[in-house]
């Protein structure tokens, strides 16, 4: 992502426990790779990282409330100020270095054009002036419209850096890169834009053990509510993974696993702790064997109907993480 960002620095969105992977493991690895700007959503997430990296490298996207100000100043992470009220709170506390979010068209967090004035931002020590793209994963006119609005809104604001591009925004080209890019999904194996598919490698590979193997006769149903009926005698394995682990019910009758290189379709409904798969083509399966769950994010999203972001952030803490 740093190479694709050209002359811009490359930060990292590590909110939501680094998109479900585990921020305490992810952040030191990103620091070692050269990342120096980390974005979280909540102050609790910033506090959890305080012993791993300098807190001055952490930005809190959801900004501040009155109750947050003193603790935020003590921690040393920078708030992303999103509203005139948040700006007033920070000024009143003589809060020092901060970031400011401008809303260039997503109509979510940020100072809108109708709210922006020189008086509002006067006296702020702004490090990063941010905005967020709404539809960067699509080639639509909204992207260029947001770019033009961000340039216009930020032209008279004194800030050390400007930042617009998320993972998909990086793929839109250098006009969107400014001084700092903020990839998230792409760091964890997701291609948010078609232009990134050749650049992104799979990061997360779920595995599950075979708990039981049995032969199911033709005409018999498999799983809750018998949503799959065997058309012929079928060898079925029950695996120790389910929606409580983050393997959602959208994979019912649509997901698959690999056992000894053989593709094995999920049969029937995904349950809380278990799935059932057709292993009839596997030469010599055995109880206790480990299976690779097909979880390349683009394909997994299409087969389950669940977004790549939800697939990652839905990974349960019950699943042990092994770092290779």
CB 60 within 8 A of CB 42: yes
Q: Kind of pairing, strands 275-278 and 78-81?
A: unpaired
CA distance 76 to 95: 10
Active-site residue identified among 145, 160, 224, 228: 224
Check 15, 176, 247, 309 and give the catalytic one.
Answer: 15
Burial bucket for residue 91 (CB in 10 Å: 0-12, 13-18, 19+): middle
Cβ-based burial of 221 (10 A; exposed 0-12, middle 13-18, buried ≥19): middle
Parallel/antiparallel/unpaired status of strands 180-181 and 207-216: unpaired
Residue tagged 């961000």 (tokens): 150
Active site residue 15: yes
**Smallest Cα–Cα separation from 121: which of 138, 106, 137, 101?**
101
Three-state DSSP at 280 gives coil
- Catalytic: 224? yes
Strand bridging mode 180-181 / 9-10 = parallel
209 vs 94, 219, 238, 271, 281, CA distance in Å?
56, 27, 8, 15, 18
Q: Is 313 exposed, middle or buried (0-12, 13-18, 19+ CB in 10 A)?
A: middle
Taking Cα atoms as reference points, which of 9, 22, 45, 1 lies closest to residue 323?
22
Q: Which residues form the catalytic set?
A: 15, 224
């Amino acid at each position: 992502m740093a190479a694709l960002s050209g002359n811009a620095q490359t930060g990292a969105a590590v909110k939501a426990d680094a998109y479900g992977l585990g921020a305490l493991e992810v952040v030191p690895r990103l620091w070692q790779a050269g990342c120096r700007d980390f974005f979280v959503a909540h102050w609790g997430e910033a506090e959890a990282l305080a012993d791993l990296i300098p807190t001055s490298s952490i930005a809190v996207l959801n900004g501040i409330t009155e109750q947050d100000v003193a603790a935020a100043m003590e921690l040393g992470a920078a708030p992303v100020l999103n509203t005139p009220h948040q700006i007033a709170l920070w000024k009143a506390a003589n809060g020092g270095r901060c970031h400011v979010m401008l809303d260039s068209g997503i109509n979510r967090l940020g100072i809108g054009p109708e709210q922006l004035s020189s008086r509002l931002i006067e006296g702020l020590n702004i490090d990063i002036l941010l905005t967020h793209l709404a539809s960067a994963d699509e080639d639509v006119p909204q992207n260029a419209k947001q770019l033009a609005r961000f340039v216009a809104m930020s032209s008279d604001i004194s800030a050390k850096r400007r930042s617009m591009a998320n993972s998909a925004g990086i793929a839109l080209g250098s006009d969107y890169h400014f001084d700092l890019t903020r990839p998230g999904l792409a760091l964890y194996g997701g291609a948010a834009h078609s232009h990134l598919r050749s650049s992104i490698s799979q990061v997360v590979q779920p595995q599950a053990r075979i708990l039981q193997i049995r032969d199911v006769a033709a005409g018999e149903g498999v799983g809750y509510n018998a949503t799959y009926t065997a058309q012929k005698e079928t060898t079925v394995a029950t695996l120790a993974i389910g929606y409580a682990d983050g393997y959602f019910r959208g994979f019912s009758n649509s997901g698959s696993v690999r056992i000894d290189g053989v593709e094995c379709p999920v049969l029937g409904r995904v349950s809380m702790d278990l799935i059932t798969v057709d292993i009839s083509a596997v030469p010599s399966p055995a109880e206790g064997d480990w299976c690779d769950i097909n979880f390349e994010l683009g394909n997994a999203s299409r087969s389950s109907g669940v977004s790549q972001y939800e697939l990652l952030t839905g990974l349960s803490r019950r699943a042990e993480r092994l770092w290779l």
